[in-house]
């Protein structure tokens, strides 16, 4: 069945790679690496995501370098417990370690999740904090100091917020923000068919205008701005929970025109219904267009784009690819699984993106598995996926919620963070032996949008082409602001170019593997320095 995917590998004209002479690429082409992923638990300060019905969902983690020492820090939702900021102490400790930051403006209760982004483009990571109640925009500063923004004109609509995404629209001084709200707790006829309204915040100069309602709201648990068509405009995809919209709803894709509106069937949108929990995107097929992975109660759903990018045509991946992960693979519970956070990442650096899914029963839902281990789906050379979580040591049976695949100790391997409901936070160090080569690429701009949200990184290595979009959102209730990690197999060098948010496309540049880089624009050239 993989031929349905592989036949799409030839690149479309808009993303066609102009290869350099063979002499320059000789070092790039190499045989694939095969390594069995392995993780080891790390002791961290105890933190548990707690609370009643309003915190059955959520429990995300934001990953950001709040002290600018090069090592990612963690801001972890707590529900009824105050959220916790964990500072990465690896540089001082000599091994992967975290220390709790004393009470600060971010240590509030009611937090369902958080996303890092540099809202004011001052070079410090800020936080969009999602809550049951008033959401917060917190301004980051030196030494992981956070304070409420007082000059953005942000008029929050208090609700039960469970999803977030952001993007920069052309020429804007501030990012456009989208907040997704779950069930309207004040609806006397709820909770079923009582989904709340979602809101979009567009900047008006240096402040935000009034919130723009996005209706109908269908209880999103994740959302993601993505330029799915490579048109230069990011649209907003929602993953909605059918458990509460019940009838008449579906997944949604918002067209970010001057007056935003949802795509229709006449425009190519196909109806998809699922118990949507998390969402992630990645170009898995090499055609330059982002594909989508969504978690759910029951089947997890991987969708490929099957058009030219002119219409939003997404189709479910064949079952034989092994990405549905619909039932527990260990623990002896045969009932359907419940997936939450989902993320792509190459955990053994073989050049193929893998998938991590945090799993766990909502609370005590009898029709769904209680012993529901997390999944680590490793991609094989033919494009199918193999379950490896138990052998890798990450098949926790706690009620998983949020998570992150991120290189916490800067050793070139993606580590793992999992937030659990009613069980302690888990952090795992990636100790995969004989892993492949890698690179870490961080984009930096002057002026607004310092982290180049909306840019595309294109990398060619080991006879493979990767297209990676810089986004804010997705996952489940948490995201990351930092460098993009690429596994490179056995390639000792690679080619890279950047399509910047303003549309300027750089020339191709050859770089050595096993190094972290920061990349800036220099006209159509890239100004590259070791990170």
DSSP assignments along 317-377, one per residue: PPGGGS----S-SSSS--SPPBEEEEEEE-TT-SSS-EEEEEE--SSS-TTS-SS---EEE
Q: Give me 123's structure tokens.
A: 């070079």
**Is the pLDDT confidence value at 421 over 80?**
yes
User: What average pLDDT does the chain have?
Assistant: 92
Could you tell me the sign of the dihedral formed by the alpha carbons of 381, 308, 519, 409, in that order? Answer: negative
Given a contact cutoff of 8 angstroms between Cβ atoms, the answer to whether 135 and 169 are in contact is no
pLDDT interval class at 211 (50, 70, 90): very high
Q: What is the mean pLDDT of residues 473-489?
A: 98
**Is the pLDDT confidence value at 45 over 70?**
yes
**Is the pLDDT confidence value at 348 over 70?**
yes
Q: What 3 state SS string does 477-509 have? A: CECECCCEEEEEECCCEEEEEEECCCCCECCCE
Q: Give me 243's structure tokens.
A: 């458990």
pLDDT interval class at 331 (50, 70, 90): confident
Separation of alpha carbons 218 and 251, rounded Å: 8
Q: pLDDT by residue (tens digit) across 92-125?
A: 888 999 999 987 889 999 999 999 999 999 999 9
| pLDDT of amino acid 1 | 25
Q: What is the mean pLDDT of residues 272-285?
A: 95
**Is the pLDDT confidence value at 43 over 50?**
yes
| pLDDT of amino acid 103 | 76
Q: Quick count: other Cβ atoms within 10 Å of Cβ 387?
A: 17
* Helix (H) / strand (E) containing 392: helix 389-392
| pLDDT of amino acid 308 | 78
Q: Give me 220's structure tokens.
A: 């999103």
Q: pLDDT by residue (tens digit) across 410-420?
A: 999 999 999 99
pLDDT interval class at 19 (50, 70, 90): very low
Q: pLDDT by residue (tens digit) across 123-132?
A: 999 999 999 9
| pLDDT of amino acid 309 | 80
Full DSSP string of 115-146: EEE-TT-SSS-EEEEEEEE--EEEEEEGGGEE
Q: Is this model's pTM higher than 0.85 or not?
A: yes
**Is the pLDDT confidence value at 12 over 60?**
no
| pLDDT of amino acid 22 | 31
| pLDDT of amino acid 194 | 95
**Is the pLDDT confidence value at 481 over 80?**
yes
DSSP state of 50: B
* Proportion of the chain above pLDDT 90, given as a percent: 88
Given a contact cutoff of 8 angstroms between Cβ atoms, the answer to whether 424 and 47 are in contact is yes
pLDDT interval class at 33 (50, 70, 90): low
**Is the pLDDT confidence value at 16 over 70?**
no
pLDDT interval class at 35 (50, 70, 90): confident
Q: String of b and e for 393-412 (b: at least 16 CB within 10 Å)?
A: bbbbbbbbbbbbbbbbbbeb
Q: What is the mean pLDDT of residues 516-530?
A: 96
Q: For residue 394, what are the CA distances in angstroms to 335, 385, 410?
A: 20, 17, 20
pLDDT interval class at 204 (50, 70, 90): very high
Smallest CA-to-CA distance from 182 within 137, 242, 115 is with: 242
């Amino acid at each position: 069945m993989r031929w349905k995917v592989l036949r799409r590998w030839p690149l479309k004209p808009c993303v066609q790679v102009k290869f350099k002479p063979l002499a320059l690429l000789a070092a790039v082409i190499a045989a694939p690496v095969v390594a069995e992923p392995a993780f080891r638990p790390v002791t961290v300060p105890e933190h548990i995501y707690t609370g009643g019905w309003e915190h059955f969902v959520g429990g995300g983690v934001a990953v950001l370098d709040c002290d600018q020492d090069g090592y990612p820090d963690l801001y972890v939702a707590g529900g009824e417990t105050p959220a916790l900021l964990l500072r990465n102490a690896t540089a001082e400790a000599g091994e992967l370690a975290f220390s709790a930051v004393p009470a600060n403006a971010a240590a509030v209760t009611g937090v369902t999740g958080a996303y890092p982004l540099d809202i004011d483009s001052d070079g410090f990571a800020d936080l969009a904090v999602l809550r049951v109640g008033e959401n917060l925009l917190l301004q980051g500063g030196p030494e992981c100091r956070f304070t409420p923004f007082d000059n953005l004109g942000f008029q929050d609509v208090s609700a039960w917020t469970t999803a977030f995404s952001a993007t920069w629209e052309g020429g804007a001084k501030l990012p456009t923000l989208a907040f997704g709200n779950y069930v309207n707790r004040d609806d006397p006829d709820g909770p079923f068919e009582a989904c709340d309204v979602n809101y979009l915040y567009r900047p008006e100069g240096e402040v935000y205008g009034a919130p723009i309602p996005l209706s109908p709201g269908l209880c999103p648990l994740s959302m993601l701005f993505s330029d799915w068509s490579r048109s230069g405009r990011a649209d907003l995809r929602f993953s909605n929970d059918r458990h509460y919209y019940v009838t008449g709803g579906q997944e949604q894709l918002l067209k970010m025109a001057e007056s935003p509106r949802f795509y229709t069937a006449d425009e190519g949108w196909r109806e998809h219904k699922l118990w949507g929990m998390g969402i992630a995107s990645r170009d898995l097929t090499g055609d330059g267009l982002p594909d989508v992975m969504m978690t759910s109660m029951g089947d997890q759903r991987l969708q490929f784009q099957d058009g030219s990018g002119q219409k939003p045509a997404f189709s479910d991946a064949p079952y034989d690819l092994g990405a549905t992960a619909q039932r527990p693979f260990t623990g002896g519970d045969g009932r359907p699984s419940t997936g939450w956070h989902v993320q792509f990442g190459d955990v053994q650096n073989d050049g193929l993106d893998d998938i991590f899914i945090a799993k766990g029963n909502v609370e005590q839902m009898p029709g769904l598995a209680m012993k529901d281990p997390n999944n680590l789906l490793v991609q094989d050379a033919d494009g199918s996926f193999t379950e490896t979580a138990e052998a890798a040591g990450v098949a926790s049976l706690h009620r998983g919620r949020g998570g992150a695949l991120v290189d916490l100790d800067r050793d070139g391997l993606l580590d793992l963070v999992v937030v659990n409901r009613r069980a302690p936070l888990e952090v795992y160090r990636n100790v995969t032996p004989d892993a492949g080569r890698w690179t870490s690429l961080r984009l930096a701009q002057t002026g607004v949008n310092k982290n180049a949200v909306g840019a595309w990184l294109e990398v060619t290595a080991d006879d493979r082409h990767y297209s990676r979009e810089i986004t804010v959102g997705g996952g489940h209730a948490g995201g990351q602001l930092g460098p993009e990690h690429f596994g490179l197999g056995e390639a000792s060098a690679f080619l890279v170019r950047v399509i910047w948010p303003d549309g300027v496309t750089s020339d191709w540049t050859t770089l050595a593997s096993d190094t972290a880089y920061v990349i800036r624009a220099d006209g159509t050239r890239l100004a590259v320095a070791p990170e």
